[in-house]
């Protein structure tokens, strides 16, 4: 804990840093002025109340002590707010974006430091906004607002790891919009974008709070469902399919019916595809999705398939 100094900071709010330094410089000018004045008095007065040497010593001592005290007070007036600014800069460097210096802590500081504190606080708030925007942009899909593929692979692996350590199941749903190209070809890409946003909303409304949905690319979406067995994930997939089918996109007089095909797979600790268990689970869900599309679309299929040649029920 730093020892407190008993000398209060100067309360010369209107002077500013330059004014304080000018005041201190003016005081230092007294050092040569006082001895000259004493010599002048000695030359014009025959008798002095005290000896010239003693008077000179007293004057010089007063000037030196006064300038030292004033210099120390001025230094505190400058250094205290400067220390706050340095500490604030260190917090930003350490990642505490948005750190704010309390303006009350610099109420007695020179004007320039008050301006610096206000500018620092604005800069810190702006930096926090920009960092949050960059973080949000780096992990979300700009069109749908869902997580993007990069975040899916990073966060999905973490979720899967938690399930593994807890000995709980974890499943993956791969979702593809049926005949999405027809929407773009018939109604144009602006309507196609609204259609993607609509489907993303239906998926988000059907999943659980613990699930993570992401846009995998194009018209494909992925849902990571922790604590869900293959059967539970298939029920979740069926709920998504029904939500999409029963809620067409309505744009004024235009009504677009929509369906999705879904593939479901549960993770396997010994992957067959990809370099890790997450990629393996996604690949298996994708194969199940391909089977759902082969079997007529607007349906849910699960991995693994029954033994024997693939047949659509």
Active site residues: 219
Structure tokens given for 140 = 């979300």
Structure tokens given for 171 = 């499943």
Helix (H) or strand (E) holding 221: strand 220-226
Helix, strand, coil: what percent of the chain each, to 5? 60, 10, 30
DSSP state for residue 243 in the 8-state scheme: H
Shortest CA distance to 72 belongs to which of 23, 18, 167, 7? 7
Phi/psi at 166 (5° precision): -85, -5
Tell me the β-bridge partners of 265. Answer: 172
Shortest CA distance to 159 belongs to which of 229, 232, 226, 233? 226
> Between β-strands 260-266 and 300-302, what pairing exists: parallel, antiparallel or unpaired?
parallel
Category of 53 on φ-ψ map: left (φ > 0), alpha (ψ -120 to 50) or beta: alpha
Dist. CA 182–CA 131, nearest whole Å: 39
Neighbours of 230 (CB within 10 A): 16
């Amino acid at each position: 804990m730093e020892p407190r100094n008993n000398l209060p900071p100067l309360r010369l709010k209107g002077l500013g840093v330059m004014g304080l330094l000018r005041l201190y410089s003016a005081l230092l000018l007294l050092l040569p002025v006082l001895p000259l004045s004493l010599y002048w008095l000695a030359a014009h007065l025959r008798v002095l109340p005290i000896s010239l040497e003693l008077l000179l010593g007293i004057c010089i001592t007063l000037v030196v002590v006064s300038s030292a005290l004033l210099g120390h007070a001025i230094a505190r007036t400058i250094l205290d707010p400067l220390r706050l600014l340095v500490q604030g800069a260190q917090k930003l460097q350490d990642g505490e974006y948005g750190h704010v210096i309390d303006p009350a802590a610099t109420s007695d500081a020179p004007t320039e430091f008050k301006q610096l504190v206000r500018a620092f606080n604005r800069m810190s708030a702006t930096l926090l906004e920009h960092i949050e925007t960059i973080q949000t942009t780096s992990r979300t899909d700009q069109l749908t607002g869902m997580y993007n593929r990069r975040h899916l692979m990073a966060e999905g692996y973490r979720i899967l790891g938690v399930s593994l350590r807890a000995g709980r199941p974890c499943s993956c749903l791969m979702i593809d919009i049926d005949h999405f190209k027809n929407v773009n070809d018939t109604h144009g890409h602006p309507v196609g974008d609204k259609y993607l946003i609509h489907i993303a909303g239906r998926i988000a409304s059907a999943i659980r709070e613990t699930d993570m949905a992401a846009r995998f690319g194009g018209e494909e979406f992925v849902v990571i469902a922790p604590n869900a067995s293959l059967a539970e994930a298939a029920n979740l997939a069926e709920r998504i399919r029904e939500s999409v089918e029963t809620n067409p996109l309505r744009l004024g007089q235009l009504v677009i019916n929509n369906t999705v095909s879904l593939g479901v797979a549960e993770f396997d600790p010994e992957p067959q595809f990809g370099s890790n268990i997450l990629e393996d689970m996604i690949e298996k869900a994708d194969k199940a999705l391909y089977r759902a599309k082969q079997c007529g679309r607007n349906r849910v299929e699960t991995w693994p398939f029954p033994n024997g040649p693939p047949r659509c029920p």
